[in-house]
Amino acid sequence: MNMSLASLFLMIQKQLTGHLGRRPQQQITAKTFSAASSVQPHITWFGHSTFLLQIEGKTILLDPIFSRSPSPFQALGPQRPTF
């Protein structure tokens, strides 16, 4: 990929500034999950890379990003909404 220095700075600026439409337009309501009572495992996909696994009476949240920012430097990069 060929990228000029000017386009690199523009890309970094876009990532560090706020974006319109990044937050939901309306309030998101919470959904409750019942404990897995079935013998069969259940998996719920929340989007991107987050899953809820219910197996053998246990409920496990699988989310590779447990922080406010999906960045190695928490002060930089976009902040993900948490509710």
**Contact at 8 Å (CB) between 43 and 53?**
yes
Q: State the Cα–Cα distance between residues 58 and 12, nearest whole angstrom.
A: 42
User: Is residue 42 domain-resident?
Assistant: yes
Domain containing 41: what range?
A: 37-64
User: Is residue 3 domain-resident?
Assistant: no
User: Is residue 41 domain-resident?
Assistant: yes
User: Is residue 81 domain-resident?
Assistant: no
Tens of pLDDT along 5-58? 888 888 888 777 766 666 777 888 887 766 656 678 888 888 878 888 988 888
Q: What pTM was computed for the model?
A: 0.43
User: Is residue 31 domain-resident?
Assistant: no
